[in-house]
Structure 1
């Protein structure tokens, strides 16, 4: 099934245009508000099943899904449900990613790290480090959408220098959104930027 991911975001009022400050501290004139898409369980199920199918086709072996909170929680849980595997999440404590709430990472357990949106992959990589510190292994990264900084399976967009994801592990996503992003030094609209990210910065 070929889904028009951009149209799904637009229909949900989740494809935003304006002036935005991203969680990374950079700026953009576009923002994808995945929570608006995922508030509809039918849409969440549709997207998660499409992403799960892409992962299954690859033949990668996995045991569980992990997401960084807060943005990745809904996407990660929906993906784990579609894949019928365990789901855990990492969250920030005093600015550092941590796995808490009684979650245990088993030695040798294989994880897919899932976000709603992958920009440079920084948060996913921080959460992945916690999985590996606990003895687990991150075998792939996944997201509903890719902001175009990292190369995903099935895309002709190459990774850009600011992609933080490891090149030896696949990224699965349903679509690329190659929006321009500006550093604070490059941005001419930062004084009026809206801050929609889950970290509120």
Structure 2
């Protein structure tokens, strides 16, 4: 598949289902909220051919926009940035937290005015993506859009007028700790993802 031929939602959902990426249980999300479902994109991205397919599908939304560099937050955005960058034929960088703040390390740089696509595997509140957008702006580069594999906010998250494209948009309910019905039932929780234990 080339960067000009987007996949259908049914086809994409089949990939996530077949790899067991959509998990059921009691989870604490990166945002601190609790949920009965968790989208573990690493279950899909562990297969390079599927990562490439999803990267091409996401890149298709930004072909012809003049993207010069793709940047994703570590950890979830690293492989997504790599595959979208490959599909678009541009550099792929990742931002990581240092002293609690997103930064570019490892000699990565952005030029003033450079057109940057920010990508991520999953967004719930969009906090990490917004931090990367702010970083890109602080470095004088120009964010031109946001691409995510899964928008689990159901379309509620926006990024100040930047175009946002997701391969899947899911309405997965999340609860504050004090309002979590799973906690009220005494169901043990786990904290998956890069800052948790799975």
User: Under a length normalisation based on structure 1, what TM-score does the superposition of the two structures give?
Assistant: 0.87
Cα distance, 1:120 vs structure 2: 1.7
Distance 2:126 2:55 in 1: 19
- Residue-pair matches, total: 187
Match of 2:122 in 1: 117
Distance 1:127 1:169 in 2: 13
Distance 1:194 1:110 in 2: 38
Q: Which runs of 5+ in 1 are unaligned?
A: 151-158
Match of 2:89 in 1: 84
Distance 1:129 1:167 in 2: 11
Match of 1:156 in 2: none
Cα distance, 1:141 vs structure 2: 0.4
In the TM superposition, structure 1's runs of 4+ consecutive aligned residues that sit over 6 Å from their partners are: none
Cα distance, 1:149 vs structure 2: 4.3
Match of 2:196 in 1: 200
CA contact (8 A) 1:117 1:145 kept: yes
Q: Does 1:170 align with 2:175?
A: no
Match of 1:67 in 2: 72
Distance 1:172 1:49 in 2: 13
User: Under a length normalisation based on structure 2, what TM-score does the superposition of the two structures give?
Assistant: 0.89
Distance 2:154 2:96 in 1: 23
CA contact (8 A) 1:107 1:136 kept: yes
Q: Does 1:179 align with 2:175?
A: no
Cα RMSD between the aligned structures?
1.5
SS of equivalent residue, structure 2 residue 128: helix
